[in-house]
Amino acid sequence: MVWTKEELQEQLTQWKQALLRVSGGKSYTIGSRALTLQDVAEIRTTITFLRDELRALSGESGPIAVVGRVRR
């Protein structure tokens, strides 16, 4: 799916607000979807996804894993 930077920022803001509200024991609604404390894992996954999409759109790369190798 193709996103604009503004759309991603707006969605990221909404999901961050959802995480704050749900973490405080309240529910939060995005569109027709009501989120509760049981949805914290999904909220965090969505925030990570949106951040990754925003990085990709900005041309930034994410974390890089480097594996060391011992020479013998």
CA 59, CA 27: separation in Å to the nearest integer?
Answer: 35
Asked if residues 17 and 24 have their Cβ atoms less than 8 Å apart, the reply is: no
pTM value > 0.75: no
pLDDT tens string 17-29: 999 988 888 888 8
- What is each CA distance from 24 to 14, 28, 53, 72, in whole angstroms? 16, 11, 27, 54
String of DSSP letters for 13-37: HHHHHHHHHHHTT--EEETTEEE-G
Digit-coded pLDDT (tens) for 40-52: 899 999 999 999 9
